[in-house]
Amino acid sequence: MELAMLMQQALDQAAEELWREGVCTLPQAVDRAVLADCLAQLEAHHPRLFKPDATADKLFVSTGRFYTAVEIGEALARREVLLPAAVERVLTAALGPDFVFDSWGVINALPGAAEQHWHRDGGILFPGHPLETMLPATAVTLAIPLVEMNDETGTTGFARRTHRAGDHPEFPDHEPRVPVGDALLWDYRVFHKGMTNRSAIARPLIYATLCRDWWSDTQNHEGQARLLFARSAWETLDPALRPRFARAQLID
């Protein structure tokens, strides 16, 4: 009972941090062995994700760094990967109980991937209006690394509180080390950028957009698939989770 209360307090603190700072980390959100299975699945069935060649389904966001939708199935369709319990708790506080997935895929930073430019993912409802900085989030980004995010492999640099303020500083004020098993959440409006991958290995991460059910991202993914679900995995998905994926395209 005491342990459960401590865990609840930690998640409440994470939700407050997401509101205040625009970013939070959830330690040990997903079992590392399960994520190892996910990485093995991507390497076996989606080798294109580990090659630098440009294909129509890859959206390059900097040299050597790209996003692509990936069909959800097998290990990737496990509930603890799709929506870890800790993540669901924090997102319910941030977005309300009826939040949904707007997109789901993988971002991979290949060895030597260059540092990104500062950017916001979107989510601005009233550009330039003072009310905007007072509003709760309309969308949140979820990142679950399959390889540790650190100074060598490249983490994500943040300008905290920029969802509540104006422009970003010259350098990030927060570059979290994110071990495999942890989850990273950030407000769609906070300035951030992917940092250089100085290592000799690729650094893939599961990358999803979750949002209020009346909102959709019209800024990103133009001409791209956004949310792909294998029909066989959909049929075995927890029925309570299906409304979260109402926008999914089923793949036979």
The DSSP result for 13-50, as a single string, is: HHHHHHHHHSEEEETT-S-HHHHHHHHHHHHHH-GGGG
Helix and strand element counts for the chain (H, E) = 5, 11
Q: Average of pLDDT values for 4-32? A: 89
Q: Average of pLDDT values for 93-105? A: 97
- Which pLDDT score, from 0 to 100, does residue 57 have? 83
| Side-chain half-sphere exposure of 50, counting CA atoms within 13 A | 14
The long-range contacts involving 50-59, CB below 8 angstroms and separated by at least 24 positions, are 50/108, 50/110, 50/202, 50/204, 52/110, 57/224, 57/225, 59/220, 59/221, 59/224
More confidently predicted of 84 and 166:
84
The reported pTM is: 0.95
pLDDT band (50, 70, 90) for residue 1 = very low
- Angle, helices 85-95 vs 2-21, to 10°: value is 50
How far is 184 from 11, CA to CA, in rounded Å? Answer: 13
- Which pLDDT score, from 0 to 100, does residue 2 have? 58
> Quick check: 6 pLDDT over 80?
no
> 70 near 105, Cβ under 8 Å?
yes
Percent of the chain past pLDDT 70, that is, above it, reads: 98
How far is 78 from 141, CA to CA, in rounded Å? Answer: 19
> 227 near 248, Cβ under 8 Å?
yes
pLDDT band (50, 70, 90) for residue 214 = very high
Residue 35 tokens, joined: 């994520």
Residue 38 tokens, joined: 């996910």
Q: Average of pLDDT values for 69-81? A: 97
pLDDT band (50, 70, 90) for residue 223 = confident
Q: Average of pLDDT values for 35-45? A: 97
> Quick check: 4 pLDDT over 90?
no
> Quick check: 232 pLDDT over 90?
yes
pLDDT band (50, 70, 90) for residue 5 = low
Beta bridge partners of 145: 205
How far is 163 from 129, CA to CA, in rounded Å? Answer: 13
> Quick check: 3 pLDDT over 80?
no
